[in-house]
Chain A
Amino acid sequence: MRSSFRRIALEIFVTLAGGTFIFAAVEGSTLLFEKIKAKQTESVSVGEAVRDLKLPLEPADKLLVAVSASCPYSKKSLSLYERLIPASAQVGIPTYLVVPDDTSKSFYQESLNLPAARVIKADLGRAGITHTPTLLLLDSNNRVKRQWVGQIPDSLEDATIARITSSAHFISRPDPKAIQIVSFSDNSAQPGAEPTRKISHADNLMSKASENVPSPIPTGIITDSSLRNVMSEAIVINIAPREQFGLAKNKGEINIPEDELAVRGVYELDPARVTLIDCGVTDATKCDMAGFVLSNIGIKQLYLLDRGANGLFCKATTTR
Chain B
Amino acid sequence: MPKSLVPICVLLFANSVLGCTHQLERTVELGNKGRGAEAFASHLVKPLYPAPSIARGDSGLTVVEIFVTKSGHVEAAKVLQSPDDEIADAALHAARASEFAIPHSPNEFLPGHGKLYFYFKLKPTPHVSVPGDQDLGVI
Contact = CB atoms under 8 A, between A and B. Distances in A.
Interface of A: 11, 14-16, 18-20, 22-23, 26-27, 30, 242, 260, 262-264, 266-270, 297
B136 interface: yes
Contacts of A26: 12, 15
Interface in B1-42: 3-4, 7-8, 11-12, 15, 19, 31, 33-36
Given A14-B4, A242-B81, A262-B33, 19 more contacts: A15-B4, A15-B7, A15-B8, A22-B8, A22-B12, A23-B12, A27-B15, A30-B19, A262-B31, A263-B31, A263-B36, A263-B131, A264-B61, A264-B117, A266-B34, A266-B131, A267-B119, A268-B61, A269-B138
Nearest to A20: B11
B131 A19 contact: no
Nearest to A16: B7
Interface of B: 3-4, 7-8, 11-12, 15, 19, 31, 33-36, 61, 63, 80-81, 115, 117, 119, 131, 136-139
B119 A19 contact: no
A257 B4 CA distance: 56
Contact of B115 (A260, A268, A297): A260
Point out which of A26, A27, A264 has the most chain B C-beta atoms below 10 A from its C-beta.
A264
Contacts of A11: 3-4
Contacts of B12: 22-23, 26
Contacts of A16: 7
Contacts of A260: 63, 115, 117
B135 to A, nearest CB: 11
A267 B7 contact: no
B127 to A, nearest CB: 14
Nearest to B119: A267
A26 to B, nearest CB: 7
A15 to B, nearest CB: 5
B138 to A, nearest CB: 5
A270 B8 contact: no
Contacts of B33: 262
7 contacts: A11-B4, A242-B81, A263-B36, A263-B115, A264-B117, A267-B136, A267-B139
A300 to B, nearest CB: 14
Contacts of A262: 31, 33-34
A19 B7 contact: yes
A15 B31 CA distance: 49
B47 to A, nearest CB: 17
Given A260-B115, A267-B119, A18 B4 contact: yes
Contacts of A269: 138
B139 A268 contact: yes
A269 B137 CA distance: 9
A283 to B, nearest CB: 21
A260 B12 CA distance: 42
A261 to B, nearest CB: 10
A263 B80 contact: no
B45 to A, nearest CB: 19
Point out which of B19, B34, B80, B81 has the most chain A C-beta atoms below 10 A from its C-beta.
B34
B138 A263 contact: no
A16 B11 CA distance: 9
Contacts of A264: 61, 117
B2 to A, nearest CB: 9
Contacts of B4: 11, 14-15, 18
Contacts of B117: 260, 263-264
A102 to B, nearest CB: 39
Contact of A242 (B8, B80, B119): B80
A11 B117 CA distance: 59
Contacts of A270: 138
Given A27-B15, A242-B80, A269-B138, A263 B8 contact: no
A23 B11 contact: yes
A19 B15 CA distance: 11
Contacts of B34: 262-263, 266, 297
A268 B138 contact: yes
Contacts of A18: 4, 8
A71 B4 CA distance: 54
